[in-house]
Amino acid sequence: MKHLLSITDAEQDIFEILELTAKFKADPHGKKHLKNKTLAMIFEKASTRTRISFEVAMLHLGGNPLYLSASDMQLGRGEIIEDTAKVLSRYVEGVMIRAIKHEDVLLFAENSSVPVINGLTDKEHPCQAITDIFTVYEYKNSYNVKMTYLGDGNNVCNSLLLACALVGMDITVVCPEGYEPDQEIFKKALLYAKETGSNIEITSNVYEGVKNADVIYTDVWVSMGDEAEKLQRLIDLNDYQVNMELLKQAKPDAIVMHCLPAIRDQEITDEVMQSSQYAIWDQAENRMHVEAALLYKLLNK
C-alpha cells in the first residue's frame, strides 16, 4: 500500500492495519518509530478530530506534524496541484489532505513521491471507516454483525460500504430516494462481499433496515458544502432520525455510532447521545490510534 486515498487501497492490508491499531492503542507512547519524520497536513476544510488526531498520533510516534491551510499556501493563489505535490515530496515524508474534491487528492498522489493519506473528500473518508470497523470489533468481538447506516449516503457511508464488505460485516444503508451512496462504490462493495460473505442492502424502509441491527450509525444531514440544500435536506431526511423509538427496533445490545460533529435533535436525539448504548466517544478516540497505525505503515520505510 503506497497511499490511502480510498478504502480500496487497503484491500490487502485491512486486517494488518486493524491489528496495528490495537497495538498502538494499548501503548500509544511506545517506540518513536517516526522520529525526525514530518507529516504535512493540508486542510481545505475546517477540522476538529482530523487535525488533532493526526497531530497527536504523529507526535506519539516521535514525528513532526505540520499544519498547512490551503488558503495560506500558493495553492490559494493558483499554483497547480502537481507542482505543490512535487515540491512537498522534497520536504516531508508524508502528506495528509482534507480536501473538497476527491479528484484533487488523486491528482496530488499521482505527482507525489511520498505517501498520501485522504483525510476526507467529497467521495470518501477512509480513516473514519477503518476506525468504525475497529470500534465495532472492540464492542462486539466479531465482524459477524449487522451495521445499519441511516441518513445521507455521503462520503462516510461510501467508505463504510467498502470497509464492511472487506471484513465480512453486514451493512444496510437506509436513506430516502436521491440520497443513495455512490453507485460505483456500491458495485465495488458488492464484489468484495461475494468474497467475504458480507450482506449489503440499500433501502428506504427505516424500521425494516434497523431490524436486528447490532450497530446503528448516522452522520450529519447537511455536510460542509451542502448548506444551500439545508432546508430540503432537513425535510427529506426527517424520518431517518436516530431516536430512542427507533433503537427499540434494533437488538437490545445494539451500539450507536456517529462520526461527529453531531447536530443534536436533528439526525440524532440528545437522549440517544446521552444513553448507555452509545460508542461515540470511543469511536472518536480510535481515530487517533487508527491514524497512528496508518502513519507507521506508510511512513516507516
Closest CA to 296 of 63, 42, 41: 63
Out of 102, 219, 233, 258, which one is annotated catalytic? Answer: 219
- Alpha-carbon span 224 to 210, nearest angstrom: 27
Catalytic residue (choose from 3, 102, 287, 289):
287
Indicate which residue of 128, 182, 214, 241 is catalytic.
Answer: 128
Q: What angle is formed at CA 46 by the lines to CA 216 and CA 87, rounded to 5 degrees?
A: 120
For residues 169 and 192, the answer to whether their CB atoms sit within 8 Å is no
Q: Are 88 and 75 in contact (CB under 8 A)?
A: no
102 is catalytic: no
Q: Which of 49, 125, 258, 289 is catalytic?
A: 125
> Is 170 one of the annotated active-site residues of the chain?
no
What counts of helices (H) and strands (E) characterise the chain?
A: 12, 9
How many CA atoms, within 13 angstroms, populate the side-chain half-sphere of residue 232? Answer: 8
157 is catalytic: no
Catalytic residue, chosen from 214, 258, 259, 283, is 259
Per the residue annotation, which of 3, 98, 233, 289 is the catalytic one? 98
Tell me whether residue 29 is one of the annotated catalytic residues. no
- From the number of C-beta atoms within 10 Å of its C-beta (0-12, 13-18, 19+), residue 243 rates as middle
Tell me if 169 sits within 8 A of 197, measured CB to CB.
no
- In whole angstroms, give the CA distance from residue 129 to residue 221: 18
Residues with catalytic function? 98, 125, 128, 219, 259, 287
